[in-house]
Amino acid sequence: MSGERFPIRPVLLIAENFRGLAKEHSLDLDRELTVLVGRNGAGKSSLLVAMEWCLFGAEATRKSDSGIAERGDWSLAYDGAAGDVRVTLELAVEGGLARLTRCRTAGGKARQEDDLLLELSDEEVLRGKEVQDWLAWNQLPDWKAWKRSFCQHQELSRARVTEAADRSTAIAGMLGLDEYRKVSDDLKKLKVKRLEQRATEELASLQGDQLRALERPGLELRDLENQLERHGVAVAQAGEAELERRTAALITSAQGLAGRLGIDDSGLPDADGPAAELQKWAQRWPTEVRRMLDVLSRERGELAGRVQSLGASFEALEPARRAEADSRNVRDRLATELGSVDGLRGQRAVLAEKRTGLEAERQRRDALGSLLRDAVAVVKDAQAPDRCPVCDQDRSDLERAIQAKLDERAPDSLEGEFADLDARDAKLQEQITKLEEAGAACETNQRKVRALEEQVRGQLPVGASESASIDELQRGWQEDVRRLGLQCEAGEAHITQHRGDAEVVAILAKLRDARARARVAAGELTETPEFQELQGVIDAAAGFASDLEALGSLARQLEDERSDERIASVNESIDSYFSMIVGASQRGRVRVQPKKTATKVSYQLVDERARVITGLMNQAAFNALSLAALFASAESRARQGLPQFLVLDDPGQNLDDAHQAGLASALATCAGFAPVLVATIPGALAEALSKADAKDVRTFSLTRTDDGTGTLVREA
């Protein structure tokens, strides 16, 4: 940009998934005058509001915070967007660039806190409240100042001239009286007169309460004495000596219990210490005792569990050992009677060999019988049955001889031998099974014994052995359990006794104080230290209230004096911009008129006849006056060296072509001292701005994408 650089100004806007802008859209703002031209729905307002949301968050987008009714049902996220809503505003600052980013996570609720991040040119990163403090320190506007002096909204295009508070604050800023007005407004909020009146009322109320208390001192005394009697303390002995005795006894009892339970007694109070400290200790002591009792109770429970567990393990060990010995004896007896498993398996192997031999003999005999039967068949089928078919000798008795051989074969004697072998083998297998089952039972019992012995050893104290008397060990543990139980019972009893004794001590202390108060006469009330201290505080508050009132009057006086000095230049500025927009014939028509009261200075816009000008204007003039006030306010801030930039959304409403041409000239003039971003529809204002006498202007054309999910930003 040409000319002197502005203190802080925007140079780049990046919006993602914001309002009507799906995905990411960027806009270069590093010009004196940036013009966005597009039809309705093209995304112009979304870009402008994105800048506001980045700077101000919910204040700019919620009805209750923004003061703009039309923003009541707004949704920030682009409809259908899956990603986060994110807007980044790049700012030109001293030493380089800073990046301000506001982000709302996808699906985030309207009331949730946004992520706010500021990356400075020196690589320092600020977050959340730190960012807001940085913006305020560098005198960037808050939302209210933004609406008055930085932007023109379609919804609130005239508020700066119709709303009395906005109008007066804006004009005070043009007059350079911001600080005076702020001091005056802040002091008014304090309502110093009301503070002084309230202090006086409180003092009177206190005096009344004290006097009423003095009129019936016996009531409190009788109530405390009745409480003591319910605790068994006679009124006659309820004096200072009894209080000291019971206090000492209370602490001595606590010391005794502390020694018995192992509680640190360094925090116990002195019997002659301050009553307030004694009372705090008395209330706190049962909690400390209870904490130690919880520790002892847990220790007692753990020890009792160990006694029970060791007893159960040891009781299970002896039967297991007996079962193991019995199973070992059975195994050894069977081994003596039957031999070893390996020996029996060897005998079965011998029987198996014999069975194999018998199987071979059976096969041989079956083969011989088959051969003889075949021979008989051959002889029967021969042509000469009387002759041998092998040697051809005369054997008329051959068939009878062969048949005799077959007939001579006795019943098979091998079956008996097979049966005997099977019986002997089954008996051997039965014996092997008995030996294996006895061995397995012995091993199972041995493992069980070893496991129980290991369990018992794990429960014994370090260094103790199983050979030690477990009964003696259990008796020792049981004695410890009993001792811990007695300690817990003593602690519980002490807590109960302590609470009762502490209550008596507290009542005695209250009775002592009540008796002292009862001795104060009504005429001596103002002489008590408490009353004197209160009176001093109230006198100081009254003096402070008077000082605040004087300071407020001084601020109003200074604002009054300085407004008279500067009002002419403000008149010139507003009138100049107004006539620039509506035409030179209106020159000199608008001026600022201060309205002074005892408590404030306000400002009104009037015509040359001192009439309120807003009631005399048509719609076009009304809009022109609002814009003129905005431009004059922006020029005033810029001349004071404060950050200033202008953002206008369709400022040409209700203006004809001639007025829009004048508005373009006014915007070009403003661009000479503050960056201007203006959005408008195609038409007279857009054409006039393209021809405006601005040294550094850039125009962008905005159109929706074909699928309607985004905005195309092209430099015209």
Annotated domain spans of the chain: 1-140+643-716
DSSP at 382 = -
- C-alpha to C-alpha distance for 406 and 541, rounded to whole angstroms: 148
- C-alpha to C-alpha distance for 242 and 231, rounded to whole angstroms: 14
Which pLDDT band holds residue 3 (cuts at 50, 70, 90)? very low
Q: Which residue has the tokens 């109003």?
A: 556
pLDDT-wise least confident of 41-55, 145-159, 661-675: 145-159
Angle between helices 164-174 and 178-190 (to 10 degrees): 140
Question: What residues pair up with 104 in beta bridges, in sequence order?
Answer: 85
pLDDT of residue 353: 92
pLDDT of residue 465: 59
pLDDT of residue 18: 86
Q: Tokens at residue 648, please?
A: 């206008």
Percent of the chain residues topping a pLDDT of 70: 75
Q: List Cα–Cα distances, 64 to 71, 265, 285, in angstroms.
A: 9, 59, 52
Exposed, middle or buried: residue 635 (CB in 10 Å: 0-12, 13-18, 19+)? buried
pLDDT of residue 10: 92
Q: List Cα–Cα distances, 409 to 368, 405, 412, 416, 550, in angstroms.
A: 10, 7, 8, 16, 153
pLDDT-wise least confident of 276-285, 398-407, 652-661: 398-407
DSSP at 24 = E
pLDDT of residue 599: 63
- C-alpha to C-alpha distance for 186 and 681, rounded to whole angstroms: 43
pLDDT tops 80 at residue 82: no
pLDDT-wise least confident of 54-63, 253-262, 355-364, 679-688: 54-63
pLDDT of residue 361: 83
CATH number belonging to domain 1-140+643-716: 3.40.50.300
> Residue 577's closest CA among 566, 586, 568, 564?
586
Average pLDDT in the 533-555 region? 59
> Residue 600's closest CA among 143, 142, 195, 189?
189
Average pLDDT in the 601-628 region? 79
pLDDT of residue 444: 93
- C-alpha to C-alpha distance for 146 and 561, rounded to whole angstroms: 27
Q: Out of 184-193, 299-308, 368-377, 679-688, give the one with best mean pLDDT.
A: 679-688
Contact (CB, 8 A) for 667 and 171: no
pLDDT tops 80 at residue 163: no
Indicate the average pLDDT of the chain: 79
pLDDT tops 60 at residue 523: no
Please write down the long-range contacts of 259-262, taking CB distance under 8 Å and 24 or more positions apart. 260/487, 260/490, 261/289, 261/292, 261/293, 261/296, 261/487, 261/490, 261/491, 262/292
Question: Which residues have C-beta within 8 Å of that of residue 432, sequence separation ≥ 6?
Answer: 341, 344, 345, 348
pLDDT of residue 440: 92
pLDDT of residue 443: 93
Which pLDDT band holds residue 403 (cuts at 50, 70, 90)? confident
Q: List Cα–Cα distances, 703 to 50, 697, 699, in angstroms.
A: 17, 20, 13
- C-alpha to C-alpha distance for 111 and 216, rounded to whole angstroms: 56
pLDDT tops 70 at residue 99: yes
pLDDT of residue 595: 78
> Residue 171's closest CA among 430, 442, 559?
559
Q: What is the pLDDT of residues 202-260, one digit of tens each?
A: 666 666 655 555 555 667 778 888 888 888 888 888 888 888 888 888 888 988 888 88
pLDDT of residue 545: 57
Which pLDDT band holds residue 395 (cuts at 50, 70, 90)? low
pLDDT of residue 4: 46
Q: What is the pLDDT of residues 408-445, one digit of tens each?
A: 665 566 788 888 888 999 999 999 999 999 999 999 99
Give 445 or 528, the one with higher predicted confidence: 445
Exposed, middle or buried: residue 628 (CB in 10 Å: 0-12, 13-18, 19+)? buried
Percent of the chain residues topping a pLDDT of 90: 13
**Helices of type H across 339-397:** 341-381
Average pLDDT in the 86-113 region? 86
Contact (CB, 8 A) for 430 and 344: no
pLDDT of residue 179: 53
Q: List Cα–Cα distances, 392 to 374, 382, 384, in angstroms.
A: 18, 11, 10
Exposed, middle or buried: residue 1 (CB in 10 Å: 0-12, 13-18, 19+)? middle
Q: What is the pTM of this model?
A: 0.49
- C-alpha to C-alpha distance for 603 and 165, rounded to whole angstroms: 9
- C-alpha to C-alpha distance for 70 and 72, rounded to whole angstroms: 6
- C-alpha to C-alpha distance for 566 and 172, rounded to whole angstroms: 10
pLDDT tops 90 at residue 631: no
pLDDT-wise least confident of 193-197, 551-555, 571-575, 707-711: 551-555
